[in-house]
Structure 1
């Protein structure tokens, strides 16, 4: 019997990475893999050790040599800590490349990205793109490659991942989630996303708000459907299933869509019912206000994440991995109400 596959998770104390780790723990009844996670603090290491995960201490995502060494000791790395940290991704892929060279075994790097990589800029009017992008019918790598360097730091890291993977002989998979909702299942955080951000702006303004006209459309996915895709991808890798990787290794994940205006309307309805707002009418927040609140003044980030169009189709997940999402619009609407109620209570 062969040794179990070693899987390293980055971002295990976060919303996405923690939920992925929980799912991998729960679905390992056959002991096909052993799990490790890079964490910063001893108490985090202790909690994960109790859950059967091998904790590895590092300083942060800039701890290049430690990350590379950790990756070298594993067969699969799931990087769910940051979509925008180029050096962390490079350290992981170099480490996996080292392992591939020394062992002769295939190694795999699964990278969390984000669909802001395709987002347009409808508020400034600089670029409008309402196309629904398929990860089967469209060449997402070429689309990203043809964007200007200033398009998105997410885009820059995606391209670097593909390039490094090809150079090092590491199979790469890029998973760009859209708006994520639902309570996380990790040991450390339940999660904060775009609904929380828009609610925060609304509570500050004392009415629901949006950037521009709020007409931009994003897809959405529940955190449990997202983690299900990751576990299906891992299982397919373990089974030796031929999978698209590298330039064709983009895996979208979505189940439905909404406009930014409709989110604001839901926030307004819930907030008024709970007495936080005098009106449900949606007002406007400037890009500068949103940028200062969340992105250290970056107007590009604020527009790309809170106002843009970014529409995708998860064709690979459904057709190749057999992914079947369970949580749709009704669950999302309930989530908006729950987030608003919780954030109002926090302010009380």
Structure 2
């Protein structure tokens, strides 16, 4: 008799989590998975259980006791919820430590972080020459503890070093593409990313796209399908050959397949505005935001504006070398996806 693998997933109704859960449900070994998903909505939880056979745990990231108990009961925890929520991460680690203390098993944690840990304060003025390599351990260690997401990542790495968790930190770059899967179709999961749809909403509201400063800075990009596929490939690699897959201090995995300057993103939104008939005539010139006040007004906060004007450069060498990840979607796909994203967001905004 095959022992089932118990999996606890947070963020199941989100953009990344929904895409990952969909792939777990269609995995060749899916009949041997016992999946519990944290969901805030009883209605969505009922759909997950009745239509997809997933055990719902109704609650939020603030329900530490529930999260700890579910984590203690899991062989594998996949955290795709808020990467900056330290209390929920601590609750996960507490449960996994309790499991280790009771059984001697070292459970697996796949935690979602992000490449925003690498941003500078360029405000669109220049293209950085610094490129982070996740196989360069000294460079990874040079990322300051005060950087975005690191206040959660570091305790997770510490838990791995302590020996009661095998921790893998996945750091996607700017994820794009509308998620298309059974959970989205069922109204359970979010189909949209954050960055490009957020810029699209601003463009719709103001009648033209925006860019911070000159838009010379930029970010790496990765498609939602390639992102979700990596989680499954990592999961499989951990199961089949754990000694060949870096974890803990050597377990940070950037995800990227190409780069795009923010000016190119803005212009692709402008082209989409013309193509969809939202504006007529020539492609609208991006509105340049240069002051803190402008960024706060247009982007919702100065901090968000500074992110949209930052550099974030990295290479996903570890994912490719150790896991065998081969992303399919490239920069041309990113540019082509903007019109589809624009249409979907525009239709959603009209409802």
Secondary structure, counterpart of 1:139 in structure 2: helix
1:227 aligns with 2:228: yes
Aligned alpha-carbon RMSD (Å): 2.2
Inter-partner Cα distance in structure 2 for 1:124 and 1:155:
24
Q: Which moved more, 1:103-112 or 1:158-167?
A: 158-167
Secondary structure, counterpart of 1:91 in structure 2: helix
Inter-partner Cα distance in structure 2 for 1:173 and 1:199:
33
Q: Which moved more, 1:189-198 or 1:170-179?
A: 189-198
Inter-partner Cα distance in structure 2 for 1:148 and 1:174:
15
Under a length normalisation based on structure 1, what TM-score does the superposition of the two structures give? 0.90
Secondary structure, counterpart of 2:256 in structure 1: coil
Inter-partner Cα distance in structure 2 for 1:43 and 1:114:
30
Matches within 5 A, 1:1-348: 1-29=1-29, 31-49=31-49, 50-58=51-59, 60-123=60-123, 129-144=128-143, 147=144, 149=146, 151-152=147-148, 154-167=149-162, 169-184=164-179, 185=181, 186=183, 187-242=188-243, 243-277=245-279, 279-285=283-289, 286-291=291-296, 297=301, 299-304=302-307, 306-347=308-349
Inter-partner Cα distance in structure 1 for 2:274 and 2:219:
25
C-alpha contact 2:73 2:99 (8 A) present in aligned 1: yes
The 3 A distance-change label for structure 1 pair 140 and 302 is farther
Inter-partner Cα distance in structure 2 for 1:222 and 1:91:
30
Deviation, structure 1 residue 132: 1.7
C-alpha contact 1:93 1:165 (8 A) present in aligned 2: no
Deviation, structure 1 residue 176: 0.7
C-alpha contact 1:141 1:159 (8 A) present in aligned 2: no
Under a length normalisation based on structure 2, what TM-score does the superposition of the two structures give? 0.89
The 3 A distance-change label for structure 1 pair 195 and 93 is same
Structure 2 unaligned segments of length 5 or more: list them: none
The 3 A distance-change label for structure 1 pair 260 and 32 is same
Structure 1 unaligned segments of length 5 or more: list them: none
C-alpha contact 2:109 2:165 (8 A) present in aligned 1: yes
C-alpha contact 2:127 2:217 (8 A) present in aligned 1: no
Q: Which moved more, 1:222-231 or 1:285-294?
A: 285-294
Question: What are the superposed Cα offsets for residues 302-337 of structure 1, whole Å, 9 maximum, x if unpaired?
Answer: 312x11111111111111111111112232122101
Deviation, structure 1 residue 273: 3.3
Deviation, structure 1 residue 258: 0.4
